[in-house]
Amino acid sequence: MSNAHSMTGNGGLAASAGRIDRPLVLVGLMGVGKSTIGRRLANALDRSFVDADEEIERAADRIVSEIFEAHGEAYFRDGERRVIARLMDEGHGVIATGGGAFVDDETRALVLEKGIAIWLDCDLETLVERTSRKNTRPLLKSGEPRAILQGLKEKRSPAYAQAQIRVVTDDGPHEATVNRILEELATWR
């Protein structure tokens, strides 16, 4: 058992989840934990991790909110679609997407075909609390964050629900969510 596995005490689960050779792609709303859980999931599985929002920022040489301000959402979505298509081909173990990526028909079809989509879901209160800690999400700046998040949850859930796996996260430690994902992967066929 490697150090990464023994640290989290989930080596057996990680081993049976590890037989899946497709990229594991985390989808879901802003603040649900795609980036932080994704990094830990990759660590538990001894796989590489990449964050699509960070890759878009690297490609554009600007942070996400600057891209939204300078060029608008449609331009951001075009870049996001291209970056995720590239990431799906590069052989990454775990990919954290931006909150809107899986809502795009083309991106969703590609992820479902070549990867395993994991929908991280959680209740609205938790999302409101988690997203209030940072003021970097452009879509939450145009009004009342709770109302915006509620609207996005209603509008996007049918797309997220097409993911092969759904895991509900709560206020427990990140590792509990990672373990729940490993359990789902271990029984996934």
Residue ranges for the known binding site for substrate are 53, 77, 99, 156
Terminal C-alpha separation, the chain: 24
Quick check: 42 and 84 in contact, CB under 8 A?
no
- E-strand spans in the chain? 24-27, 49-51, 94-96, 116-121, 165-168
The binder of ligand ATP chosen from 23, 31, 93, 145 (CB under 6 A): 31
**DSSP one-letter string for 7-54:** HHT-HHHHHHHTT--SPEEEE-STTSSHHHHHHHHHHHHT--EEEHHH
Q: Is 77 in the site for ligand ATP (CB under 6 A)?
A: no
With CB cut-offs between 5 and 8 Å by kind, which of ligand ATP, ligand SKM, Mg ion, none does residue 138 bind? ligand SKM
Q: Is 169 in the site for ligand ATP (CB under 6 A)?
A: yes
Quick check: 94 and 38 in contact, CB under 8 A?
yes
Would you give the DSSP letter of residue 183?
H
Q: Is 138 in the site for ligand SKM (CB under 6 A)?
A: yes
**Shortest distance (Å) from residue 154 CB to ligand ATP:** 17
Residue nearer to ligand ATP on the CB measure, 133 or 189: 133
Distance CA 161, CA 166 (A): 7
The binder of ligand ATP chosen from 138, 162, 174, 186 (CB under 6 A): 174
With CB cut-offs between 5 and 8 Å by kind, which of ligand ATP, ligand SKM, Mg ion, none does residue 163 bind? none
The binder of ligand SKM chosen from 64, 84, 94, 127 (CB under 6 A): 64
Q: Which residues bind ligand ATP (CB under 6 A)?
A: 30-37, 53, 96, 98-99, 130, 133, 137, 169, 171, 174, 177
